């Protein structure tokens, strides 16, 4: 069996993503990081996983006035610029993409969408971690017309939550596939997938769910890796 190469964008908790995606021995990993200035390594990858972490600079979605709502000490413009190049390469080559948390938000911005810079400040309940650092848990409802529904096989379920930003306006060609009870977008995909590469974006963290047997963890990983194998 031919090995597949997955590029994973760097972040503070990179190890969790790398450990989670190594489902089978045919998976090789390349860390994509501005610290190594290696966006060209996308050419060696068969699929790309965009990880969580830093807030995205709101100037990228033409709302610089939202900076006051961001965790400004966490904004990393070099990471934004690097991952923009990664996505450009990825879309040019039509590689399968899995975006997690910030990864969802960044892909949305890349496709021209906008973000809610701070969910509680914009009138919804908190979706970030508890003060003691533990993820929250809440339900999501999945659109039955979506790829995510085909992957999960059910309309509702419980996921973990650790984000203070979310999608506002979906980017061009993207559609919400899952929502929280209070109306926050929890997942996205291509609205027209025919002839395009696999793209699945989730706002939760499948790589660190307490129940790794959950369909919202193992099915997400399996569907992404299967898409990569089928694209090689």
Map residue 141 onto helix, strand or coil.
strand
- Nearest to 106, CA basis, from 216, 183, 32, 2: 32
* Kind plus residue range of the DSSP H or E element containing 197: none
- Nearest to 208, CA basis, from 5, 20, 47, 3: 20
Please give the DSSP secondary-structure letter assigned to residue 117: S
Given the residues 83, 186, 189, 207, select the one marked as catalytic.
207
Residue pair 129/226 in contact by the 8 Å Cβ criterion: no
CA–CA distance, 51 with 139 (Å, rounded to integer): 22
Quickly list DSSP for 22-83.
--STTEEEEEE-TTTT-GGGGGG-SEEEE---SPPPGGGGT-GGGGGGS-GGG--HHHHHHH
Residue pair 113/171 in contact by the 8 Å Cβ criterion: yes
CA atoms 28, 34, 35, 38: torsion sign: positive
Given the residues 45, 101, 163, 189, select the one marked as catalytic.
101
β-partners of residue 48 are 7, 97
Query: Is 101 part of the annotated catalytic residue set?
Result: yes
Given the residues 89, 163, 164, 205, select the one marked as catalytic.
205
Residue pair 4/44 in contact by the 8 Å Cβ criterion: no
Query: Is 207 part of the annotated catalytic residue set?
Result: yes
- Would you name the residues annotated as active-site residues? 101, 205, 207
């Amino acid at each position: 069996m031919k090995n597949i190469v997955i590029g994973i964008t760097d972040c503070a908790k990179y190890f969790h993503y790398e450990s989670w995606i190594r489902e089978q021995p045919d998976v090789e990993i390349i860390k994509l990081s501005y610290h190594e200035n290696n966006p060209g390594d996308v050419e060696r990858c068969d699929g790309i996983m965009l990880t969580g972490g830093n807030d995205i600079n709101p100037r990228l979605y033409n709302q610089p006035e939202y900076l006051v709502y961001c965790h400004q000490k966490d904004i990393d413009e070099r990471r934004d610029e690097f991952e923009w190049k990664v996505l450009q390469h990825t879309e040019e080559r039509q590689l399968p993409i899995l975006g997690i948390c910030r990864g969802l938000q960044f892909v949305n911005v890349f496709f021209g969408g906008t973000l809610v810079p701070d969910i509680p400040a914009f009138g919804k309940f908190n979706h970030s971690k508890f003060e003691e650092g533990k993820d929250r848990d809440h339900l999501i409802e999945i659109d039955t017309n979506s790829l995510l529904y085909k992957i999960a096989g059910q309309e509702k379920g419980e996921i973990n939550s650790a984000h203070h930003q979310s999608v506002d306006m979906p980017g061009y060609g993207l559609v919400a596939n899952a929502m929280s009870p209070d109306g926050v977008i929890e997942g996205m995909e291509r609205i027209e997938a025919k002839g395009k590469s696999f793209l699945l974006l989730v706002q939760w963290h499948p790589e660190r769910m307490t129940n790794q047997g959950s369909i919202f963890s193992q099915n997400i990983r399996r569907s992404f890796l299967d898409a990569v194998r089928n694209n090689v």
